[in-house]
């Protein structure tokens, strides 16, 4: 948002302006106001209306003028109080007491003609009441209803972005506050539009009362002729009404402009100028039609020809500008190609570079990436890298993003060290509605599978978004789909992403924070190569390596005792990280939900581990059956909203994980030693008892 300065930045103590103004308005109602001050207030009222309508024209977002509903009430009360003041002056002293603005409207605007004044006043009232006020009131009601109806879905989208790591808690709270502000604003506008309608009705009543009262005073108190009384007082009343209703008309128009403002990118003037002239063909045809009517019909030839010629000239100007822009774009493209061809031969060596991580996108996805076109994917990827550092302790290297003309327009590919690891399709102008399992109705659209978690989903248009949110779907934009997919790809491939450079960066940071530890331990006995292997093993099972101090200290202790096997060292590090591991698997119910082995079956496996060449001491068909049973239990518990973990003895943990992870994706396998003593463990299922007889 551009930097905007206001009177608050220049004049201190502006908080006193509103209370003083309210007191002044009340004073105007009960205390007579001299003509000079009355004229100042009427000019102020007109100026106020102009300022408001121009402010609305320049604003980009309705919330930029969030005070407008309250301002509408203040202006209405001020205008009515001013009406009371002018009415008092007209009835007490006639023209001498109101000479200035009111007499100018009576003399100049309506030409001292009562009938003309009444007709002009009636036209303004009809326009304001039947067109502007009615339309504004209806739009305000619809906008308020749709804004409130859409709030649950928008809140769910914010929660989805927060859970996916696309935004942090601070940004989520800011978006929730903006959502609440929007709902409050449109709700207030729905009520504030009634002030405008009431102001119009009050203006009509004041006109009638003033006219009859002034005529009666002129005839019965001042002895004027009835016709002269009408000419004097009705003319002044109409002038007063016009002076009061013109600012009210501008305020009513401002209210309509606010509730019909559809975009936050540009102010209303830029939108109108840009969108009305974006098609020169329409200007050509309109200009030709106007000139034809002026030539072949009794319509005035000169005005029709002038307007038609201006429209054709404007169309030609727009057409030339588009042609110049097209030629400039083509020239820039050719220059870029020429520069690429003129590169030095040694620059070809850049092709041999293998980036740690890449995102290749079809040309149809460029609007999601390019910030100049409103794309926010680059910003989301930055948030992902920050989130990975906080949650996993993993320093994700910069992700190279490039377009690939060999892909389908809406297709993208994620690569790690030049090897494709993920691929999917998104549609920039659509939304992905995911079915969490309890939706109330089906949606029409392109059926698909959400790429990160495999949920059934449907691509829908903007017109179905509110319906989907009300039906229970989780609706996300295409950038969120890609960002969530990249997040899961990073988690799944974290060991491959962790390179020697990242490990050295972590060591350098550790040395800045704990210099004595690093100087004593690294590189002897903990060399960076061994540290990298252990960190990879931890990341393989999605264990955070952020607590690098505990990891290095544990490795040092056991390496000095003669342990050199990376897997054994990783197991000891897991025990040292038991608090982090336990906390990461605690559910919303504050419990650690566990699938356990039958005790006798587990004891049998431990006794036979020495006889196992690799993996579990089971026949292949029994091991497969055990994995299938575990998979069925995981699916059953997941459907109930429970995310279980597998818990086994320390001897079985690593070989058990190696085998079961091939069958059940993302199932954490913990040992009893990796769970803190204060954890609330609840065994949700036991497996393996039916295999006892087959293994004895």
Q: What is the pLDDT of residues 429-487, one digit of tens each?
A: 999 998 877 777 888 888 999 898 888 899 999 888 888 888 888 899 999 999 999 99
Q: Residue 173 falls within a domain, yes or no?
A: yes
Q: Return the structure tokens found at 1.
A: 């948002």
At 344, the pLDDT band (50, 70, 90 cuts) reads: very low
% of residues, the chain, pLDDT over 90: 20
548 has a pLDDT exceeding 90: yes
Q: Residue 60 falls within a domain, yes or no?
A: yes
Query: 308 and 213, same structural domain?
Result: no
Say if residues 526 and 554 touch (Cβ distance below 8 Å). no
597 has a pLDDT exceeding 70: yes
Of the residues 494, 525, 549, which one is the last residue of a structural domain?
494
CB count within 10 Å of CB 662 equals: 9
Query: 688 and 601, same structural domain?
Result: yes
CB count within 10 Å of CB 167 equals: 21
Instruction: Name the residue among 606, 604, 543, 601 with its Cα closest to residue 575.
Output: 543
How far is CA 460 from each of CA 163, 362, 475, rounded to the nearest angstrom?
Answer: 22, 20, 9
Of the residues 510, 541, 576, which one is the last residue of a structural domain?
576
Q: Return the structure tokens found at 293.
A: 């009517």
209 has a pLDDT exceeding 90: no
Which DSSP category does 167 fall into? S
How far is CA 312 from each of CA 8, 277, 299, rounded to the nearest angstrom?
Answer: 47, 11, 19
Query: 484 and 437, same structural domain?
Result: yes
pLDDT at 472: 83
Cα–Cα dist 431/464, whole Å: 9
Q: Residue 2 falls within a domain, yes or no?
A: no
Query: 467 and 513, same structural domain?
Result: no
Its sign, for the CA torsion 160, 162, 167, 172, is: positive
575 has a pLDDT exceeding 70: yes
350 has a pLDDT exceeding 60: no
At 568, the pLDDT band (50, 70, 90 cuts) reads: very high
Phi, psi of 400 (to 5 degrees): -75, 130
Cα–Cα dist 599/604, whole Å: 9
CATH number of domain containing 547:
1.10.8.540
Query: 519 and 482, same structural domain?
Result: no
Phi, psi of 449 (to 5 degrees): -120, 130
CATH number of domain containing 462:
3.40.30.60
Query: 325 and 379, same structural domain?
Result: no
pLDDT at 263: 45
Q: At what angle do helices 650-663 and 620-639 cross, to 10 degrees?
A: 80
Cα–Cα dist 620/694, whole Å: 12
Q: Residue 10 falls within a domain, yes or no?
A: no
Query: 361 and 315, same structural domain?
Result: no
Q: Where are the alpha helices (DSSP H) in 423-527?
A: 465-470, 478-492, 494-497, 500-513, 515-521
Q: Residue 5 falls within a domain, yes or no?
A: no
Query: 83 and 39, same structural domain?
Result: yes
Query: 443 and 324, same structural domain?
Result: no
Cα–Cα dist 106/280, whole Å: 45
Cα–Cα dist 267/282, whole Å: 23
At 112, the pLDDT band (50, 70, 90 cuts) reads: low
8 has a pLDDT exceeding 50: no
Number of domains in the chain: 5
Say if residues 93 and 33 touch (Cβ distance below 8 Å). no
Q: Looking at per-residue confidence, does 634 or 151 come out higher?
A: 634
Cα–Cα dist 27/19, whole Å: 12
Which DSSP category does 663 fall into? H
Say if residues 357 and 497 touch (Cβ distance below 8 Å). yes
Query: 179 and 93, same structural domain?
Result: yes
Say if residues 385 and 396 touch (Cβ distance below 8 Å). yes
Cα–Cα dist 206/237, whole Å: 9
Residue numbers of the domain that contains 651:
582-695
Cα–Cα dist 333/336, whole Å: 5
Q: Where are the alpha helices (DSSP H) in 261-300?
A: 268-276, 280-296
Question: Tens of pLDDT along 158-199?
Answer: 776 766 667 777 887 887 787 777 777 766 666 666 666 677
Cα–Cα dist 685/597, whole Å: 8
4 has a pLDDT exceeding 60: no
Q: Residue 155 falls within a domain, yes or no?
A: yes
Q: Return the structure tokens found at 664.
A: 């059940």
Query: 194 and 326, same structural domain?
Result: no
Strand pairing of 592-597 and 645-648? parallel
Say if residues 627 and 620 touch (Cβ distance below 8 Å). no
pLDDT at 533: 94
Cα–Cα dist 463/457, whole Å: 17
pLDDT at 576: 93
Cα–Cα dist 671/423, whole Å: 35
Q: Return the structure tokens found at 544.
A: 């955070």
Q: Residue 663 falls within a domain, yes or no?
A: yes
pLDDT at 97: 64
pLDDT at 410: 92
How far is CA 53 from each of CA 56, 179, 182, 268, 627, rounded to the nearest angstrom?
Answer: 5, 25, 21, 11, 70
Cα 337 from chain centre: 37
Q: Return the structure tokens found at 469.
A: 């949110």
Say if residues 236 and 102 touch (Cβ distance below 8 Å). yes
Query: 521 and 473, same structural domain?
Result: no
Q: Return the structure tokens found at 242.
A: 């016009």
Q: Residue 346 falls within a domain, yes or no?
A: no
CATH number of domain containing 690:
3.40.50.12790
pLDDT at 155: 72
Cα 516-521-527 angle, rounded to 5 deg: 140
Cα–Cα dist 68/164, whole Å: 37
Question: Tens of pLDDT along 31-53?
Answer: 777 878 887 888 888 787 788 77
Q: What integer best gives the mean pLDDT of the chain? A: 79
Say if residues 476 and 157 touch (Cβ distance below 8 Å). yes
**pLDDT, average across residues 248-263:** 69
pLDDT at 694: 59
At 10, the pLDDT band (50, 70, 90 cuts) reads: very low
In order, the DSSP letters of 113-126 are -HHHHHHHHHHHHH
Match 């202006």 to its residue by tokens. Answer: 75
Of the residues 542, 576, 610, which one is the last residue of a structural domain?
576
Phi, psi of 173 (to 5 degrees): -65, -35
Question: Tens of pLDDT along 614-667?
Answer: 567 777 788 888 888 898 988 888 878 788 999 999 888 888 888 888 888 778
Instruction: Name the residue among 103, 40, 50 with its Cα closest to residue 238.
Output: 103
3 has a pLDDT exceeding 60: no
Q: Return the structure tokens found at 219.
A: 């005839």
């Amino acid at each position: 948002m551009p930097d905007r300065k206001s009177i608050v930045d220049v004049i201190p103590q502006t908080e006193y302006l509103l209370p003083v103004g309210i007191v002044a308005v009340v004073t105007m109602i009960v205390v007579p106001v001299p003509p000079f001050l009355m004229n100042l207030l009427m000019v102020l009222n007109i100026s106020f209306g102009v300022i408001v309508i121009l402010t609305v024209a320049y604003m980009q977002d309705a919330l930029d003028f969030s005070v407008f509903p309250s301002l509408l009430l203040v202006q209405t009360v001020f205008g009515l109080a001013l009406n009371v003041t002018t009415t008092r002056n007209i009835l007490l002293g006639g023209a001498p007491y109101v000479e200035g603005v009111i007499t100018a409207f009576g003399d100049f605007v309506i030409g001292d003609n009562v009938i003309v004044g009444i007709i002009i006043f009636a036209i303004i009232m009809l326009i304001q009441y039947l067109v502007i006020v009615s339309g504004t009131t209806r739009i305000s009601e619809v906008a308020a209803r749709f804004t409130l109806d859409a709030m649950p879905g928008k809140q769910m989208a914010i929660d989805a972005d927060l859970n996916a790591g696309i935004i942090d808690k601070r940004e989520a709270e800011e978006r929730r506050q903006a959502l609440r502000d929007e709902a409050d604003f449109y709700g207030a506008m729905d009520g504030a539009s009634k002030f405008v309608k009431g102001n119009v009705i009050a203006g009509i009543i004041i006109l009638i009362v003033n006219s009859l009262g002034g005529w009666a005073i002129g005839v019965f108190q001042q002895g004027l002729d009835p016709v002269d009384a009408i000419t004097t007082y009705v003319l002044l009343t109409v002038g007063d009404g016009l002076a009061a209703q013109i600012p009210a008309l501008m305020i009513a128009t401002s209210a309509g402009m606010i509730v019909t403002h559809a975009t936050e990118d540009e102010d209303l003037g830029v939108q109108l100028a840009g969108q009305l002239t974006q098609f020169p063909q329409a200007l050509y045809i309109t200009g030709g039609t106007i000139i034809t009517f002026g030539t072949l019909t009794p319509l005035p030839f000169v005005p029709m020809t002038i307007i038609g010629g201006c429209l054709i000239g404007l169309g030609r100007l727009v057409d030339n500008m588009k042609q110049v822009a097209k030629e400039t774009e083509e020239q820039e493209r050719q220059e870029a190609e020429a520069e690429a061809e003129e590169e030095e031969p040694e620059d070809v060596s850049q092709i041999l570079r293998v980036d740690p991580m890449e995102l290749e996108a079809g040309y149809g996805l460029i609007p999601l990436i390019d910030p100049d076109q409103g794309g926010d994917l680059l910003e989301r990827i930055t948030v992902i890298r920050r989130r990975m550092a906080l949650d996993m302790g993993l320093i994700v290297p910069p992700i190279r993003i490039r377009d690939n003309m060999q892909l389908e327009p809406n297709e993208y590919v994620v690569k790690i060290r030049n090897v494709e690891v993920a691929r999917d399709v998104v549609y920039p102008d659509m939304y992905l509605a995911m079915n969490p399992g309890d939706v109330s109705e089906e949606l029409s659209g392109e059926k698909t599978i959400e790429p990160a978690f495999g949920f059934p989903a449907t691509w829908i248009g903007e017109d179905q978004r509110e319906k989907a949110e009300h039906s229970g779907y989780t609706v996300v934009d295409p950038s969120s789909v890609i960002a969530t997919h990249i997040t899961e790809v990073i988690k799944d491939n974290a060991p491959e992403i962790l390179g020697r450079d990242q490990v050295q960066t972590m060591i350098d940071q550790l040395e800045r924070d704990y210099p004595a530890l690093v100087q004593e331990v690294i590189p002897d006995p903990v060399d960076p190569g061994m540290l990298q292997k252990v960190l990879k093993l931890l990341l393989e099972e999605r264990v955070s390596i952020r607590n690098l101090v505990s990891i290095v200290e544990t490795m040092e202790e056991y390496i000095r005792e003669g342990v050199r096997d990376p897997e054994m060292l990783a197991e000891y590090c897991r025990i040292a990280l038991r608090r982090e591991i336990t906390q990461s698997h605690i559910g919303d119910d504050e419990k650690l939900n566990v699938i356990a082995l039958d005790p006798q079956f587990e004891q049998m496996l431990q006794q036979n581990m020495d006889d196992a060449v690799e993996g579990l001491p089971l026949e292949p068909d029994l091991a497969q059956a055990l994995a299938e049973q575990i998979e069925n239990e995981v699916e059953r518990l997941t459907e109930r909203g429970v995310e279980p973990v597998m818990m086994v003895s320390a001897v079985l943990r690593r070989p058990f994980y190696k085998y079961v992870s091939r069958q059940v994706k993302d199932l954490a396998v913990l040992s009893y030693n990796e769970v803190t003593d204060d954890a609330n463990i609840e065994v949700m299922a036991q497996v393996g008892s039916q295999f006892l007889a087959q293994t004895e």
